[in-house]
Structures are given as C-alpha cells and as structure tokens.
Amino acid sequence: AQRVTQPEKLLSVFKGAPVELKCNYSYSGSPELFWYVQYSRQRLQLLLRHISRESIKGFTADLNKGETSFHLKKPFAQEEDSAMYYCALLRAGGTSYGKLTFGQGTILTVHP
C-alpha cells in the first residue's frame, strides 16, 4: 500500500527566509505527486502537480524517485504563505479512480 509522510507538523520561518516542506512517499509503482494548500478555514486548493513542473506563487517541487521525496520549496517566504500544506499521492493506473493518499499535513507559519 502507498503511504505519504510529512515529518513536520509545524514549521515556522521569518518573512524572506527560505522554506522547505518535506514530503516522502512509499509506493512501488510510478506515482503522481501533488501539493495542496489550505488557507485558514478555506477549501483545499491545488498548488503544484509534479508532472506540470510549474512554479506557483514562487513554490517549486521536484520529484526525486531515488529518495522517494517531493519536497516543496520557496526561496523567500511571505506572510501570506502561512497555511496548511498537504502532500498527496495518486497511484498510477485506471483502477486508482483518482483516489489520493494524503500526508498528515504541515502547518507553515511565516512571521513578519
């Protein structure tokens, strides 16, 4: 079975500092990885999808199959980045029916 681990429940940084939210996964096949963000008491929004290789709101994430990681990075954190971040995995294949496996989430707080 697949698993997603976000080792940090809480992460605090100061504005302008670099930030890295860690995500490790275990899955024997070729997964698709996502980062979702949830601002205070709002719905989850898709932030990044690894196959898109985009930079959204200054965030990037690279899939490292050797280390089975998909860490989220931003060089200069902003106060508006404060939110809950979830890493999620989608199994390959039609029988996954789009089901996501989520990590436990990391609450990022960016201090002024």
Partner 1 sequence: NAGVTQTPKFRVLKTGQSMTLLCAQDMNHEYMYWYRQDPGMGLRLIHYSVGEGTTAKGEVPDGYNVSRLKKQNFLLGLESAAPSQTSVYFCAGSFRGQPQHFGDGTRLSIL
Q: Which long-range contacts (CB under 8 A, 24 or more apart) does 95-102 make?
A: 100/34, 101/2, 101/3, 101/4, 102/4, 102/36
28 makes contact with partner 1 (CB under 8 A): no
- Contact segment (CB under 8 A) with partner 1 among 12-20, 23-31, 66-74, 97-105 equals 97-105
**Binding residue for partner 1 (CB under 8 A) from 22, 49, 50, 73?**
49
Q: How far is the CB of 7 from partner 1 (least distance, A)?
A: 13
Q: Are 39 and 47 in contact (CB under 8 A)?
A: no
Contact 110, 77 (CB under 8 A): yes
C-alpha 62/C-alpha 49 separation (Å) is 10
The pair of three-digit structure tokens given for residue 1, joined into one six-digit string: 């079975």
Considering the rule CB under 8 A, would residue 105 count as an interface residue with partner 1? yes
Q: Does 46 bind partner 1 (CB under 8 A)?
A: yes
* Cβ distance to partner 1 smaller for residue 11 or 100: 100
Task: Answer yes or no whether residue 53 interacts with partner 1 by CB under 8 A.
Answer: no
The residue ranges that bind partner 1 (CB under 8 A) are 4, 6, 9, 34, 36, 41-46, 49, 86, 94, 97-100, 102-105
